[in-house]
């Protein structure tokens, strides 16, 4: 699992607890704090100044190339495996337009440079077209969401091997919440604004053969429902085989872990998820996981949890 952003080092703490055998859990690549501009999608905004104090480099808020590099180095210092940035506005952040670019290309290049020096990849939250293209030119590994792709953005992604992480579930969830009156009016407007554009962008990326990696933005909707993403990807134009590859072989490539993850083969981790039936015929079967093995240890068998001794 690639977790792209968490306050107070929560994702890094959980990763370490799992790796040290204190609790069972998935393999986690953690980002620490997301990096963005003051008042942008990665900041805590929309509240009284005395409620949330100003956030700085230590919390991932950077203005200018030097601060951007410092923010990367701070996340790496405290254990980040991957760097997350907010290149554009977002649906659920107050006070910004969903598509507006929020980091300059110079800032994004500085972030990618610092991350590359630390052997980390950069994931870019990006909805708006110009912010997407600036992030691709800057050298990010993935565009997460990618709501407003145009032909030039798709061409750049193809040329540079940039991945799209389409998060179809997130778009569908916020649009449904907007229609059901569960979002603030300003968030509902943005959710509906990008809904159709995101569907069209995903379909265009699939047709063009852009690298696509599975990702859901879980938390925008309840955790545990993530496999619905497979259904939405197939509905949007992928074959079941392509959707499954996006979560295995292709996801491992995005993570830079293709030599040990994403396949069942000698020399790879024995990480296996299995379902009853043929998901190539009915991809929705992936909603009902019957078997889970991690590193050769079985955690779920015949649909039931298997108790595993701590430290095993």
Among the listed residues 82, 94, 192, the one whose alpha carbon sits nearest the alpha carbon of residue 144: 82
pLDDT at 22: 95
The number of residues in the chain equals 312
Q: Which residue has the higher pLDDT, 53 or 25?
A: 25
pLDDT at 41: 95
Determine the average pLDDT of the residues in 24-44. Answer: 95
- The topology under which CATH files domain 270-312 is Urease, subunit C; domain 1 (2.30.40)
Active site residue 84: yes
28, 184, 210, 279 from 144: Cα distances, Å: 18, 23, 13, 25
pLDDT at 311: 61
In percent, how much of the chain has pLDDT > 70? 99
Among the listed residues 296, 219, 305, 181, the one whose alpha carbon sits nearest the alpha carbon of residue 3: 219
In percent, how much of the chain has pLDDT > 90? 92
The CATH number corresponding to 2-268 among 3.20.20.140, 3.40.1410.10, 3.30.980.10, 3.20.20.70 equals: 3.20.20.140
Determine the average pLDDT of the residues in 270-283. Answer: 97
| Greatest CA separation for the chain | 56
Residue 11 has pLDDT above 60, yes or no: yes
pLDDT at 216: 95
List of residues 6+ apart from 18 with CB closer than 8 A: 24, 25, 26, 27, 28
Q: Which one from 11, 43, 81, 84 is the annotated catalytic residue? A: 84
Q: Which residues pair with 272 in a beta bridge?
A: 293
Give one DSSP letter per residue of 71-99, joined into a string: HHHHHHHTT-SSEEEE-B--SSSTTS-TT
Lowest-confidence range among 49-53, 265-269, 302-306? 49-53
* Residue ranges of domains in the chain: 2-268, 270-312
Q: What is the pLDDT of residues 158-175, one digit of tens each?
A: 999 999 999 999 999 999
Mean pLDDT across the chain: 96
Q: Which one from 217, 250, 271, 294 is the annotated catalytic residue? A: 217
Q: Which residue has the higher pLDDT, 47 or 225?
A: 225
């Amino acid at each position: 699992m690639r977790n792209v952003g968490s306050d107070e080092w929560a994702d890094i703490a959980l990763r370490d607890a799992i790796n040290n055998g204190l609790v069972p859990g998935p393999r986690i690549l953690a980002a620490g704090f997301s990096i963005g501009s003051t008042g942008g999608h990665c900041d805590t905004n929309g509240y009284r100044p005395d409620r949330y104090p100003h956030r700085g480099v230590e919390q991932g808020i950077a203005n200018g190339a030097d601060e951007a590099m410092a923010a990367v180095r701070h996340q790496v210092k405290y254990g980040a495996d991957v760097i997350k940035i907010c290149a554009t506005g977002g649906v659920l952040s107050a006070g910004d337009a969903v598509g507006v670019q929020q980091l300059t290309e110079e800032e994004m290049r500085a972030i990618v440079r610092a991350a590359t020096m630390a052997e980390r990849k950069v994931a870019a939250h990006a909805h708006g077209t110009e912010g997407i293209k600036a992030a691709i030119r800057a050298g990010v590994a993935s565009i997460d969401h990618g709501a407003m792709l145009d032909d030039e953005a798709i061409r750049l992604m193809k040329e540079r091997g940039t991945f799209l992480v389409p998060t179809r579930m997130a778009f569908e969830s916020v649009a449904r919440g907007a229609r059901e009156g569960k979002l603030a009016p300003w968030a509902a407007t943005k959710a509906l604004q990008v809904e159709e554009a995101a569907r069209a962008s995903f379909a265009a990326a699939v047709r063009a053969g852009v690298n696509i990696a599975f990702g859901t933005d879980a938390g925008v909707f309840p955790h545990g429902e993530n496999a619905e993403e497979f259904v939405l990807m197939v509905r949007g134009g992928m074959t079941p085989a392509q959707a499954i590859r996006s979560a295995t072989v292709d996801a491992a490539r995005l993570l830079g872990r293709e030599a040990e993850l994403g396949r069942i083969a000698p020399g790879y981790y024995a990480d296996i998820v299995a379902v009853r039936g043929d998901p190539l015929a009915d991809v929705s079967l992936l909603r009902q996981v019957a078997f889970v093995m991690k590193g050769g240890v079985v955690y779920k068998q015949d649909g039931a949890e298997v108790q595993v001794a701590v430290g095993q």
